[in-house]
A and B are shown apart, each in its own frame.
Chain A
Amino acid sequence: MDALLLSRMQFTATTLFHFLFVPLTLGLSIMVAVMETIYARTGKEIYLKMTRFWGKLFLINFAVGVVTGITLEFQFGTNWSGYSAYVGDIFGSLLAIEATAAFFLESTLIGVWVFGWKKLSAKAHAAVMWLVAGASNLSAIWILTANGWMQQPVGFTLRNGRAELTDFAAVVFNKFSILQILHVLPSAFVFTAFFVMGISAYHLLKKQHVEFATKSFNFALVFGLIASLAVAVEGDFHAKHVTESQPAKLAAMEALWDTTTRAPVHLIALPDQENEKNAIQIASIPGVLSFLGRGDINAEIKGLKDFPKDERPPVLMTFLSFRIMVGLGMYFILMMVLGLLLRKRLMDYPIYLKAMLYSIPLPAVAISFGWMLAEFGRQPWIVYGLMKTADAGSPLAPIQVALSLAAFIGMYGFLGAVGYYLIIKNARKGPQALAA
């Protein structure tokens, strides 16, 4: 195991773990802000109960999200010094803006929200959560802009042995980044919706806190229905853009080996990277991939064999990640539509409620596979077409990274267990009776 492979494992593990918590921060902050605003305007206690309850879960989640995020900022420098020195002129500024414009607001105001119940008016206190929500979503926008640049580098030139910025607007308005933002943010809201709906379903199944659970469920339903449809529709645009900007990734995610017009979608396939074909390939529908990828059944789609062997992503992983993500995405839409139809008689359908309860972790799974698609699908590039991952690492001794990786697994495993224990415990408890 060399330091590079260990660094890759570490980055993957720490990023996926961080992103188990981020989506809930992005979505639940908005939901809690809405609930609190309604309370501030109507004075109805039920909305305060909802704010306090979902706010409590939000804070537990937020804490783990924050600390695991610090790791990532450090890690570009600690484990990827080659990358940082080469593209820092562009990438570094996006991260610095994320910190100055967003992290500060988010982290400062969350303290005000937690401690300021008695110090601020109800409306001001609600406004604080809106700012936290805005700031966290803004920080997501900046980091996605940064990742988008890794996927499709724009606005730069090669000079002085590194990539140097030439056009900031091009970087900020990079089409890849925008599409990524429009895909990832709604996916976070889907995660949040399932979280809220699932926990609400739990209480409905137990026939307790019915008003609270029904209102929460219906809130989240609106959120989730719009978001799950947005994710799917936008996902199509996103994949079309990937077809143009990252053809190797597209070929891998569809297990297409030979460049062809009327490119097919294989309903079932098992890629065999060694032998440059699909070991299993059943029900290939011609033309569908060309249509999906470029809007024209006869369009040419590049196959993996068009790329040198060492410039192809890990095909099985990319292919499976895509399928799992999309499959789950379809399931999410289905469950939201069902919820819409059943929303007035939820307690008459315990099977649906149970399904929603057990579905809580599924958006996390879909999102994780989505990121694996995005990142593994970009390999061997760390910046697509510009820099290889193999050239990006820090000059570290393998033992250093092995130790830090082990420490992360241990620490994160522990924190994840404790965090989820606390979330589950408090979710089960339900909203507390409020002190007079």
Chain B
Amino acid sequence: MILESIWFFLWGLLWAVYFMTDGFDLGIGTLMPFVAKSEEDRRVMINAMGPLWDGNEVWLLTAGGVTFAAFPTVYAVMFSSLYSALMLILFALIMRGVAFEFRGKVESPGWRKVWDIFLFIGSAAPALLFGVAFANIFRGIPIDQNGINQGNLLTLLNPYGLLGGVLFMLLFLTHGCLWLSIKSEGDLQSRSAATAVKLWPVLLGAAVLFLVASAFATNLYANYLSYPVLFLVILLTVAGLLGVRFFLGRQAYFKAWFASALTIVGATFYGVIGLFPNMFPSSIDPAYSLTAHNAASSPLTLKIMLVVVIIFVPVVLAYQAWTYFTFKDKVTLDDLIY
């Protein structure tokens, strides 16, 4: 039914925007122990995320909220069957959230160290775990006819799942480096750009590996083979990835970041399109899979939510874009609020 398919697409879009925005926050938070050489560096990195991270994170809450509203069975089964992974992600996000606010409140290196650790774990863990979770969704989770997961956390840590985690991590690290290159100056900027250049071939390798592995571990290509025009999505994603390296070479960091954003959005849609109409496939039996059609809300709810989203999402995009524009300048010593 068309309404359900529209919602499936919107659901994918929300995840894509989440990864495109909070992705650089997760990347910078993970990079901090490696790229920052001084307290000043650390503060620049934190302030590069400062005005934006919370608004970015809400895309996750909206993706989750929309899953609940439009596909309540998926929400129920996904969140309960991935209990341990989600709890880990949740605790990590809690740690990250308070780190921003608490870090600067006491003038003590020991105090700051605690919150730097919170910020690191709070950034690295979700980056990895989102990748692991989504790769496993592509692969299928061993849910039975009652939606009960017959596996556990360790089941998720299979090679394909781990590859997904590594891929997401590399995507976000690169994205973070690029954002930092835009927002910082001098030595820190050079280091960020250099890190992105070093990461890029690894990211390319992981991406290729993932594309190939997906052919064996998942059914993602079935839709692509049925409608070959969809391969454009993969092409665009790869183009984005190549664009990252191209623009990095020219030190055009805004363009490189946009190319990275395109890569992340493309990668998300690659998975989402490949999944369609599945949302939470069962690796035990396809009959147990949750799809956009068997797990959706009533048509009335879908219609109401569509109106809500059509009104609010453009509004949100507008004021978030305004925020990004307001804070487009480099982070200088005067700006170190946190």
A165 close to B83 (CB less than 8 A): no
Number of A-B contacts (CB under 8 A): 219
Choose one: B47, B50, B94; the contact of A68 (CB below 8 Å). B94
Least Cβ distance of B94 to chain A in Å?
A: 4
Query: In the complex, what distance in Å separates the CA atom of A262 from the CA atom of B91?
Result: 53
| CB contact under 8 A between A165 and B90, given known A96-B308, A99-B62, A108-B55 | no
Choose one: B73, B83, B91; the contact of A88 (CB below 8 Å). B73
A67 close to B326 (CB less than 8 A): no
| CB contact under 8 A between A77 and B68, given known A88-B76, A394-B80 | yes
Least Cβ distance of B56 to chain A in Å?
A: 9
Please give, as numbers and ranges, the residues of chain A lying within 8 Å of B61 by CB-CB distance: 70, 73, 99, 103
Please give, as numbers and ranges, the residues of chain B lying within 8 Å of A67 by CB-CB distance: 93-94, 97-98
Choose one: A79, A88, A114; the contact of B69 (CB below 8 Å). A88
Is A314 interfacial (CB 8 A cutoff)? no
Query: In the complex, what distance in Å separates the CA atom of A396 from the CA atom of B147?
Result: 12
Interface centre among A67, A87, A97, A396 (most CB of B within 10 A): A67
B87 close to A84 (CB less than 8 A): no
Please give, as numbers and ranges, the residues of chain A lying within 8 Å of B79 by CB-CB distance: 74, 76-78, 81, 84, 394
Is A59 interfacial (CB 8 A cutoff)? yes
> Considering the complex, which residues of chain B in the window 15-67 have a beta carbon less than 8 Å from any beta carbon of chain A?
47, 50-55, 57-58, 61-62, 64-66
A100 close to B308 (CB less than 8 A): yes
Query: In the complex, what distance in Å separates the CA atom of A63 from the CA atom of B99?
Result: 9
Please give, as numbers and ranges, the residues of chain B lying within 8 Å of A115 by CB-CB distance: 47, 50-51, 327, 335, 337
A77 close to B90 (CB less than 8 A): no
Choose one: A91, A105, A407, A426; the contact of B87 (CB below 8 Å). A407
Query: In the complex, what distance in Å separates the CA atom of A343 from the CA atom of B164?
Result: 63
Interface string of A57-82 (1 = CB under 8 A from B): 00110111011101101101111011
| Interface SS, A side | helix
**Closest residue of B by beta carbon distance from A410:** B91
Interface size on B, residues (CB 8 A): 64
| Interface SS, B side | helix
Is A404 interfacial (CB 8 A cutoff)? yes
Is B5 interfacial (CB 8 A cutoff)? no
B58 close to A92 (CB less than 8 A): no
Which chain A residues have a beta carbon within 8 Å of chain B's beta carbons? 59-60, 62-64, 66-68, 70-71, 73-74, 76-79, 81-82, 84-85, 87-93, 95-101, 103-105, 107-112, 114-116, 118-120, 159-160, 162, 164-166, 168, 394-396, 400, 404, 407, 411, 415, 418-419, 422, 426
Give 4 new A-B contacts, CB below 8 A, not counting A96-B305, A422-B106. Answer: A89-B301, A100-B312, A114-B51, A115-B337
Q: What would be 24 A-B contacts, judged by CB atoms less than 8 Å apart?
A: A67-B94, A68-B94, A70-B94, A73-B65, A74-B86, A77-B86, A92-B297, A93-B305, A98-B65, A101-B308, A104-B55, A104-B58, A105-B316, A112-B51, A114-B50, A116-B326, A119-B327, A159-B298, A164-B298, A394-B79, A395-B146, A400-B84, A411-B95, A422-B102
